Structure 1
Amino acid sequence: MILITGATGHIGSVVLEQLLRKLPAHQLAALVRDEIKAAHLQAQGITIRVGDYRDPASLERAMQGISKVLLVSGGGDEDGLQQHYNVVDAAKKAGVRCLAYTSRALQNPATLTNQLMVRHFQTEDYIRASGLSYLLFRNILYMDTLPQFVGPQVFEKGIQLPAGQGRVAFALRRDMGEAIANVLADDSCQNRIFTFTGAATYSFTDVAQALSELSGRPVEYTPIEEQEFMSRLRAQGLPAVAVERITGFLTDIKNDQESTVTAELADWLGRPPTPLREGIKEIFKV
């Protein structure tokens, strides 16, 4: 039986949806904190296990009889790394055969500005040290997050970010979720690392151009300095930690941390991943 954590979240739900196409529902389980929110999964025949990353005992109970676990990385909580460790420890205690993890495809973890991302590689190290067989999914930045970066008034004000001409091999969340599910449905678990990226890299200039062409409204990308960007975020009332993380994220893009390109996503999809223009049309409904 395969257990998907974060099963009602963005990537977890996509993975489960694809797994249902490949495997019978009785082979699938969903780890959730709120059973009520998972009623739609239960209705499809998926087993519901209740657990919380902060509660090791609940995790160990939830993993009884489970052979493979997908640990979907948590958010930006201060204790987020410990939460990941708790899942790994529980999997080992419960006798799980294979642990998979959604990590990040970044060029050089040692030179990251956004230190939150370092957590992914610390989790990878902990999984390796656990002795569990593992599958590590290093995912590129989701194309689906573009609206968060460009803002709700992108067609009125354009794009102004401290990302320079840094390039990103954007891929849609549903493409990556489908590929992850295809790997999980395979019986093997051979301590493999998968780097899932789009087939090409794009700058925010490319994003602006695609938005312009698809909408018929001019959208320009203007690179700005980090300090100006941070001042704008502070003026919006964002807390200091959020300002630092968002700016760090964009600085890493500027430094081409997100520019890795591999064919692995296409290989596991059995088709090319969705290109930028097609993805933007879907995401922005233009």
Structure 2
Amino acid sequence: MILVTGATGQLGMAVLQTLLANTPATQLAALVRDERKAAALQAQGVSIRVGDYGDPAALDRAMQGIEQVLLISGGGEEDALQGHYNVVDAAKRAGVQCLAYTSRALKDPKTLVNQLMVRHFDTEAYIEASGLPHILFRNILYMDVLPLFTGPNVLETGINLPAGQGKVTFALRSDMGEAIAKVLLERDFSTRTYHFTGSEAYSFDDVAAALTKAAGKEVTYMPVEAATFAAGMRQRGVPEVAIERTVGFITDIKHGQESEVSPDLATVLGRQPTSLVEGVKQLYKL
């Protein structure tokens, strides 16, 4: 039986969509905070386990009868790292045969500006130390975040970011979810690492060109200074912590942290991941 944590989140749902299409729902369980949000999964026959990463007793109950656990990272929450540790500990107590974790494909964790990303590698180290057979999915930045970076009026304003000529091997969340599910369905409990990236690294000039092609209207990219970008966010009332994280994220892109190219995603999918132009059409509804 496979337990997917964070099951009602976007990546969790993408993973479960492929799992449900390829294995009986009776072989699947979902860890959720709010049972009401999992009503559709429950209706399909998925076993719903209620709890969160901060509740070890609930995690112990959720692990009963589970062979594989997919730990989907807890995002930007302050206690996310301890929550990850709690899931690993519960999996070990329950005798789970394999723990999978959604980490990040970043070139050099030691030189990251966005320190929030470091917790992924702290989690990896904790999993290694646990002795559990494990699978690490080091995922590149989701292509799905592009509209957040460019803003809703990008066709009028163009792209203005402090990313320089940094490149990202963007991949759609849906492609990653499909690939993660396919790996889990292999029931191979050997320890290994996948680097799930797109097949090509793209600069924001490339993103602008893709938008131009998809929209039939010229879109330009203008690199700006980080301080100017931060001041604009501040003017819009964005909280300081969000400004710091966003600028750190984009600075890491500028420094090439998100530019790794790996064939792993294409290999597992059995096809090339969605291209930038096709992804932009979907994401911006063009």
Aligned to 2:83: 83
Q: Secondary structure at the match of 1:167?
A: coil
Aligned to 2:199: 199
Question: What is the CA-CA distance between 1:238 and the residue it aligns to?
Answer: 1.4
Aligned to 1:212: 212
> What amino acid sits opposite 2:202 in the alignment?
Y
Aligned to 1:274: 274
Question: What is the CA-CA distance between 1:257 and the residue it aligns to?
Answer: 0.4
State the distance in 2 between where 1:13 and 1:267 align. 22
State the distance in 1 between where 2:224 and 2:246 align. 14
State the distance in 1 between where 2:34 and 2:166 align. 40
Aligned to 1:93: 93
> What amino acid sits opposite 1:239 in the alignment?
P
Question: What is the CA-CA distance between 1:116 and the residue it aligns to?
Answer: 0.3
Question: What is the CA-CA distance between 1:203 and the residue it aligns to?
Answer: 0.5
> What amino acid sits opposite 1:132 in the alignment?
L
Cα deviation 1:55-91 (Å, max 9, x = unaligned): 1110111111111000000121111111111111111
Cα deviation 1:164-211 (Å, max 9, x = unaligned): 010000001111100000000011121100000000010111111111
Aligned to 2:229: 229
Aligned to 2:261: 261
State the distance in 1 between where 2:80 and 2:46 align. 27
Question: What is the CA-CA distance between 1:234 and the residue it aligns to?
Answer: 1.1
Q: TM-score, normalised by structure 1?
A: 0.99
State the distance in 1 between where 2:264 and 2:213 align. 30
Aligned to 1:40: 40
In the TM superposition, 1:159-178 aligns within 5 A as 159-178=159-178
Query: In the alignment, does 2:102 pair up with 1:102?
Result: yes
Cα deviation 1:77-132 (Å, max 9, x = unaligned): 11111111111111111111111000000000000000000110000000010111
> What amino acid sits opposite 1:27 in the alignment?
Q
Query: Which structure 1 segments of 5+ residues have no match?
Result: none
State the distance in 1 between where 2:187 and 2:211 align. 42
Aligned to 1:20: 20
State the distance in 2 between where 1:33 and 1:215 align. 39
Question: What is the CA-CA distance between 1:140 and the residue it aligns to?
Answer: 0.5
Question: What is the CA-CA distance between 1:237 and the residue it aligns to?
Answer: 1.2
State the distance in 2 between where 1:109 and 1:183 align. 25
Q: Secondary structure at the match of 2:135?
A: strand
State the distance in 1 between where 2:193 and 2:226 align. 33
State the distance in 1 between where 2:197 and 2:229 align. 28
Aligned to 1:157: 157
Q: Secondary structure at the match of 1:222?
A: strand
Cα deviation 1:10-46 (Å, max 9, x = unaligned): 0000101101122111100011011111010011111
State the distance in 2 between where 1:204 and 1:10 align. 24
State the distance in 2 between where 1:215 and 1:91 align. 48
Cα deviation 1:126-158 (Å, max 9, x = unaligned): 001011110000000100110000001111111
Query: Which structure 2 segments of 5+ residues have no match?
Result: none
Q: Secondary structure at the match of 2:19?
A: helix
State the distance in 2 between where 1:204 and 1:168 align. 9
> What amino acid sits opposite 2:270 in the alignment?
G
Q: Secondary structure at the match of 1:193?
A: strand
State the distance in 2 between where 1:80 and 1:37 align. 21
State the distance in 1 between where 2:273 and 2:216 align. 25
State the distance in 2 between where 1:200 and 1:17 align. 26
Question: What is the CA-CA distance between 1:236 and the residue it aligns to?
Answer: 1.2
Cα deviation 1:237-281 (Å, max 9, x = unaligned): 112111110000000000110000011101100111111001111
Structure 1 ranges of 4+ moved more than 4 A: none
State the distance in 1 between where 2:49 and 2:77 align. 23
When the two chains are superposed, the root-mean-square deviation of aligned CA atoms in Å is 0.7
In the TM superposition, 1:119-134 aligns within 5 A as 119-134=119-134
State the distance in 2 between where 1:151 and 1:195 align. 28
State the distance in 2 between where 1:278 and 1:200 align. 14
Percent identity of paired positions between Structure 1 and Structure 2: 64
> What amino acid sits opposite 1:158 in the alignment?
G
In the TM superposition, 1:67-78 aligns within 5 A as 67-78=67-78
